[in-house]
Amino acid sequence: MDEALLRSLTPGVLGILVRRGADFAAAEDAVQDALLEAVRVWPSGQPRDPKGWLVTVAWRRFLDAARSDTARRRREDLADEEPEPGPVSGTDDTLWLYFLCAHPSLTPSSAVALTLRAVGGLSTRQIARAYLVPEATMAQRISRAKRTVGGARFEKPGDVGTVLRVLYLVFNEGYSGDVDLAAEAIRLTRQLGAAVDHPEVAGLLALMLLHHARRPARTAPDGSLVPLAEQDRGRWDTGAIAEGVAILQAALARDRLGEFQAQAAVAALHADAPTAQETDWVQIVEWYDELARLTDSPVVRLNRAVAVGEADGPRAGLAALATVDPGLPRRTAAEAYLRERDGDPRTAARLYAEAAREASSLAERDHLTRQAARLNTRPGA
């Protein structure tokens, strides 16, 4: 079973159902039913037109559900227009669907969650991890969002900012390796940039390219994580870095700074350094100051504290970290790193072990566990 193919076809199938008149919630349910049917049937023989097959099955599932609905009389008009199975349009509805999910009737957080579930194909657990909330909380949020848009019409799509947040979360989920959606997020952001003249779209595309350029060096052959400072910079994609920097410079020249441009500026400074020791941490702290003014995000404050520790020493970094919520994911790991640099390996080892227990992925947990073991096995530990 080609799961990547199913994932790539899902947005187009969903878009076709919505364009034919299905409300979003019912269409998403019908598409999920069709995907389950494909998982059951396709191993014995994949259809020549996989997308057409999915559209046909999903549309019939939608009509079956519609006929049993209290609005049966209105829905049955659609049944008279049921198309015959066959080739379907090659139009890419994915980006259009992102805008539909950014509907004015939804809060930004609900729009992002719904899009990740219905269009991005992520599980509720993956979305909850991206949002740093319990899975049950996210399940309720998605359920409420589907009810909200269940009867809504989509003549007025949402704003670009919400779509950008969706794309960034999809990219980050793909970049983590749990679901490989990074390339798809980059493709969609390019498409959005061609359709929308907005410096933050360019900022996000630059950020994605700069992060994606480092992807080959992020893991060792055994799958373990390689921290940025230890990565083989010769494995970075210099073409992607050059493109990302050029796009960022053009966006910054418009003097309409946004959070994605500022994040891309941090990534560009990392990419510009020939070695980790030559990183311009002072400028990175300045960009995090800009980000803090733009977003007031606890994650930004956490990253800024680490950067301060590099620019001004670990004591300064620990002082900055003291203002960050102790319950924030990865805060414990950041403190462990700064404690080690400050000459307190015993406390650092304890914190690395604690951070490993809190880690959201197996690779991260293994990396932090190795850091704790490294300190615990040092002479005199």
Query: Is 292 within a domain?
Result: no
**Of 88-97, 220-229, 280-289, where does mean pLDDT reach its minimum?**
88-97
Q: Which residue has the higher pLDDT, 76 or 68?
A: 68
Q: Is residue 147 part of a domain?
A: yes
Domain finish residue from 218, 251, 279: 279
Among residues 263, 279, 295, the one where a domain terminates is 279
Give the total number of structural domains in the chain.
3
Q: Is the pLDDT of residue 82 over 50?
A: no
What DSSP line would sit under 148-175, residue for residue?
HHTT---SS---HHHHHHHHHHHHHHHH
Residue 271 has pLDDT above 50, yes or no: yes
Instruction: For 337-368, write each residue's pLDDT tens digit.
Output: 999 999 999 999 999 999 999 998 888 999 99
In terms of domains, do 76 and 103 share one? Answer: no
Domain presence at residue 239: yes
User: 67 lies in a domain?
Assistant: yes
Q: Is 343 left (phi over 0), alpha (psi -120 to 50) or beta?
A: left
pTM of this structure? 0.77
Q: Is the pLDDT of residue 66 over 90?
A: no
Q: Where do runs of H (alpha helix) occur along 20-159?
A: 24-41, 50-67, 72-79, 94-101, 108-118, 124-131, 135-149
Which of 74, 91, 108 is a domain's end point?
91
Boundaries of domain holding 126: 94-176+185-190
Average pLDDT, the chain: 86
DSSP letters spanning 191-223: HHHHH---HHHHHHHHHHHHHHHTGGGSB-TTS
328, part of any domain: no
Whether residues 81 and 115 fall in one domain:
no
Q: Tell whether 50 and 119 lie within a shared domain.
A: no
Same domain, residue pair 81 and 117: no
Asked whether residue 33 carries a pLDDT value surpassing 80, the answer given is yes
Helical packing angle, 259-272 and 199-213, nearest 10°:
30
Give how far the C-alpha of residue 353 lies from the chain's centroid of Cα atoms, to the nearest Å.
27
260 and 225, same domain (yes or no): yes
Q: Indicate the DSSP class of residue 84.
A: P
66-70, 139-143, 186-190, 191-195: least confidently modelled range: 66-70
